[in-house]
Amino acid sequence: MAATPIQLDEHGRLRHFLTIENLPRELLVEILDHAERFTVVGDRAVKKVPLLRGRTVVNLFFEPSTRTRTTFELAAKRLSADVMNLNIEASATRKGESLSDTLRTLEAMDTDMFVVRHQDSGAPEFIARQVAPGVSVINAGDGRHAHPTQAMLDVFTIRRHKPAFEDLRVAIVGDITHSRVARSEIHALKILGVPDIRVVGPKTLLPTAIESLGVGVFHDLDEGIAGVDVVIMLRLQQERMQSALLPSGHEYFHTYGLTPARLKRAARDAIVMHPGPINRGVEIDSAVADGHQSVILQQVTHGIAVRMAVMSMVLGSHAQAA
């Protein structure tokens, strides 16, 4: 099934950014290259470029997330766009007012871009199909489906340390079932040509038929990260720590927590990543999170540049090509 042709326009330009699945490799590389240019902006006296001056970006968050919203807000502001934050209680749309009604209200405000986070998979695409032509939608995380900008900042960080994707071994460890980050990362790594992608976790946290996405499946952490160049640790949500999925955060740490000793199983120069926020002592030991192999803080910095790249590309796609 051809997924989401809606995000590309007839010239193959990125009009919306909803999922990484089925995007051409060149487009991902273009995002990374643009992001590379934007990282420089963050090092200057004035950390702003006038690219999106006069444009209005609405952060439409149906699910609370201060971190992600802040990086999108910062990215938009560094592009000189005007930013509005709207946090909509999930209950408001579930009862009575439909999502379409909410949108119609917002469209009246003359918005150029919606950055959407929603608890339901597919919501940003639904919105993208409703908005007027000339309005772009960026997915800031939907249900378990996708978190494409997070995945792009992850591969951006990987490329800075390990530019040869075709030689890489990457392990993604933790709760894959509920993770939109993992899904988008798998698509991005696959498209960029990473030959060895592994998912590691207990059977309760790996979704049915995950191998159909082209990944190796491991239930043992030591085996799963053996020799890998990149270890991506996923956040374990509080509500899953003591549930029918896992007995406790304590037991999880003992089986799947990344400690300095276990990290030795990975390649000597392996990097350790985490989309944040970190649960120290649950999925990762502080000594690893703060250690010299950790690139977790770089991920945060790169997140701004990557989002600036995506935002300027999608809004640039509406240019009437001369």
Partner 1 sequence: MKIRIRGGRVIDPANGVDAETDVYIDGERIVALGRKPPRFTAARDIDAGGRIVCPGFVDLAAHLREPGYEHKATIASELGAAAAGGFTTVCCTPDTAPVVDTPAVVELIHQRARGVRGARVRCIGALTHGLGGEVLAEMQALKNIGCVAVSNVGRPIRDTNVLRNALAYASTLGLTVLLEAEDPWLGARGVMHEGATSTRIGLAGIPAAAETIGLARDLVLLGETGARAHFRTLSCAQAVSYLRDARKRGLHVSADVGIAHLHLVDEDIANHDAHYHVRPPLRSTRDRDALRRALARRQLDALTAHHQPHDADAKAGPFGASAPGISGFDTFLPLALELVEAGAIELAALVDACAVAPARILDLPAGTLGLGAVADVCVFDPAACWTASPATLLSQGHNTPFMGRELRGRVTHTIVGGRLVHALDD
Partner 2 sequence: MPKTTDDLDVEALIATMAERLAQRIAARELADPALVGIRTGGVWIAERLRRLLDLDAPLGELDIAFYRDDFSRIGMHPTVAPSTLPFEVEDRNLVLVDDILYTGRTIRAAMNEIFDYGRPRTITLAVLIDRSGRELPIDANVYGTRLRLGADDHVKLLGPDPLRLEFCARRS
Q: List residues near partner 2 by CB under 8 A.
A: 13, 30, 33-34, 36-41, 44-46, 48-52, 312-313, 316-322
Structure tokens belonging to residue 69? 């919203």
End-to-end CA distance of the chain: 34
Of the pair 53, 129, the CB lying nearest partner 1 is at 129
Helix (H) / strand (E) element for 230: namely strand 230-233
Query: Minimum CB separation from partner 1 for residue 58, in Å?
Result: 18
- Which partner, partner 1, partner 2, none, binds residue 159 by CB below 5 to 8 Å per kind? none
Query: Minimum CB separation from partner 1 for residue 103, in Å?
Result: 10
Query: Minimum CB separation from partner 1 for residue 172, in Å?
Result: 14
Q: Are strands 169-173 and 196-200 parallel, antiparallel or unpaired?
A: parallel
- Which partner, partner 2, partner 1, none, binds residue 297 by CB below 5 to 8 Å per kind? none
> Contacts with partner 1: how many residues (CB under 8 A)?
31
Site for partner 1 in 106-165 (CB under 8 A): 118, 120-123, 125-126, 142-146
- Which partner, partner 2, partner 1, none, binds residue 108 by CB below 5 to 8 Å per kind? none
Of the pair 280, 318, the CB lying nearest partner 2 is at 318
Q: Which of 59, 93, 139, 279: binder of partner 1 (CB under 8 A)? A: 93
DSSP class of residue 234 equals P
The residue type of 200 is: V
SS3 content of the chain, % helix, strand, coil (to 5): 40, 15, 40
DSSP-assigned letters across all residues of 156-213: HHHHHH---GGG-EEEEES--TT-HHHHHHHHHHHHTT-SEEEEE--GGGS-TTGGGG
Which position has the token pair 């995945």?
151
Distance CA 75, CA 78 (A): 5
Q: Which of 3, 40, 86, 164: binder of partner 1 (CB under 8 A)? A: 3
Binding mask 183-212 for partner 1 (x = CB under 8 A): x-----------------------xxxx-x
- Which partner, partner 2, partner 1, none, binds residue 318 by CB below 5 to 8 Å per kind? partner 2
